[in-house]
A and B are shown apart, each in its own frame.
Chain A
Amino acid sequence: MDYKEEILVSEKKLRNKTIISFTVFILLLAAAVFAWQKLHEQPKVADVPKPLRTVLNANENFFSNFLSNNHLAKSFPVSQAVKNVRVNGNVGMEADFDPSTWKLQVIRKPGDTLFVTLDEIKALPKTDIVFDFKCIEGWSQVTHWGGVKFSDFAAKYNLNAQTQMKYAGLVTPNKKYYVGIDMPSMMHPQTILCYEMNGKPLPMNQGYPLRLIIPVKYGIKHLKRIGTISFSNERPPDYWYNQGYDYYSGL
Chain B
Amino acid sequence: MKQKTFLISGFIASLFLAGVVSFYASSHPDGLEKVAEDIGFIETAKENTNADGVLADYGVKGVDNERLSVGAAGVIGVIATGVISTGLFMLVRRKPGSEK
Tell me whether A and B are bound partners. Answer: no
